Structure 1
């Protein structure tokens, strides 16, 4: 489809947000035609973005150099969240495969994790890579709750947890087990904190719709877990940090921006429910937004935290 330019979309809620936005920037709809757009990941070497269209069982690719959109992989095992590791490889969460996988430079696929304590994972949802090469991912049950985004099945583990894959041994270790539905996650720029969303309100009356913040100790364990922010419209899903530690997170009415102290300071209005975001472009100053049926982009005046 032809790129669509929408009106300026930002809203400043706190004086600390005044330097985040360019008044002349427009929200751009780059593509529409998805059933549930999710999991954006940017490849700086190729200047392209990939994202998941989960129910359509495909991964899409947006080429930043010419604006073209193509299918990157189909079928995709109903992939959800993605990230790029330190070697420039794609790391993916597969609902249907119930695993975390890595696409190698030659296109082959390596399974990084599909079990914990001998039991199959539920349906890995989102993933981040730490600078030491360890891979951290959430494992709610959305991909086995229904057939729409995976395949209905019983949970072998009986819980929805957060895990770490050791970069040397490949061991899968439990790092958090007190979530209803752990979802998006992101490290602070200095990796001293890990933020994790809980979207338990999707399944439990008065359930959580917040982001929690943990201290990362020794590079491999989590302590704390206090509520960082509670969503004011819908539920938080995927999110990213900018280089100053602010969180840019999905919500039902767009993208909410939080100061590191937990104050919501700005909002980017998007005409669809937002599932996830990531920063891209040569200077990491273009915010890519997955909004239900569409991929959007919005230039901002800050840079995303470097994650590769």
Structure 2
């Protein structure tokens, strides 16, 4: 009997799945769940509830509690090489780092003297550089931030140098850059364009770039299209497959761009991450809920 949570498009997808795995709803009660990040050393998951202005913490067997409130409308989260939480804050229009003692450090809030739009999602490369997207979602209204005018001439993907703190635009031609992630070897960077969220005829695709000299992006091209909703957060597994959010669940793409299949989720998916002690559990933030399902692969670059 086929698992009702799976939609198989390519037989190779079966090798990535646990045929009997259940899709577990771990928590519900969010307004817009986002930004999951796994802390293996602590055995917990953090995730954002943006409109409710809080970051929640889920622990196996203990449930969900408030980690930070008010959160200043934190969206995407990740960890750096030292295990510190790095977050995109809509309210402050900045990227922040939570130090080990709990204090907050602003990593980036301006470019060329002007405020960023509303940093959305963030990844940290193995060399310590911080890469993030800066669409306008957090300043469109007072629902996920504070309504304001854009000061940047474009909605960019940025790289923050760890040694000089120099903030550089690495791509400037997205309508709404959103989720991003590296390939396992960090030679590729995938970036979602979710412009169709507010303009139906706009892009709803994922682009991929070659990472040159560890600092620049070249040879940008469309990697895959999302056929239901828009792409948002995404991650790669150890074999280089890309797992992307979509309106009907999680879409899994082979490194060659082939849609292998989908994990169907009852609510529109915003983001996802691999976690658990063996890095083989896929945590999914979807509208009002946090879901999880075990897989037959492991996430790449999971702290």
- The two structures have a TM-score, normalised by structure 2, of 0.98
Q: Which residue of 1 aligns with 2:257?
A: 262
Q: Runs of 5+ in structure 2 lacking a partner?
A: none
Equivalent position to 2:73, from 69, 72, 78: 78
1:59 aligns with 55
Cα pair 1:145 1:152 within 8 Å, conserved: yes
What per-residue deviation string (whole Å, max 9, x for no partner) do you get for residues 197-256 of structure 1?
001112334100000000000000000110000110000100000000001110000000
Q: Does 1:35 align with 2:27?
A: no
CA RMSD of aligned residues (A): 0.9
2:241 aligned with 1:240, yes or no?
Answer: no
Query: Are 2:170 and 1:181 aligned?
Result: no
Other structure's SS at 1:143 match: helix
- Measured after TM superposition, the shift of residue 158 of structure 1 is 2.8
Counting matched residue pairs gives 301
**Residues 99 and 114, structure 1, Cα contact 8 Å, conserved in 2:** yes
Structure 2 distance, partners of 1:115, 1:267, is: 38
**Which consecutive segments of 4 or more residues in structure 1 shift more than 4 A?**
none
Distance 1:8 1:283 in 2: 25
- Structure 1 residues 131-140 or 194-203, which shifts more? 194-203
Counterpart selection for 1:106 from 80, 101, 110 = 101
Distance in 1 (CA, whole Å) between partners of 2:14 and 2:51 is 38
Deviations 1:143-181 (A, max 9, x none): 001110000000111321000000001111110000000
Give the drift of 1:306.
Answer: 2.0
Q: Secondary structure at the match of 2:269?
A: coil
- Is 1:139–1:183's contact at 8 Å kept on the other side of the alignment? yes
Structure 1: runs of 5 or more not aligned? 1-6
1:148 to 143, 147, 164: 143
Match of 2:211 among 216, 220, 229: 216
Question: How many Å separate the matches in 2 of 1:79 and 1:148?
Answer: 12
Could you state the TM-score of these two structures normalised by the residue count of structure 1? 0.96
Check conservation: 1:8, 1:23, Cα contact below 8 A. no
For 1:1-308, what aligned pairs fall within 5 Å after superposition?
8-64=4-60, 66-308=61-303
SS of match in other structure, 2:228: coil
Q: Is the 8 A contact 1:213 1:225 kept in 2?
A: yes
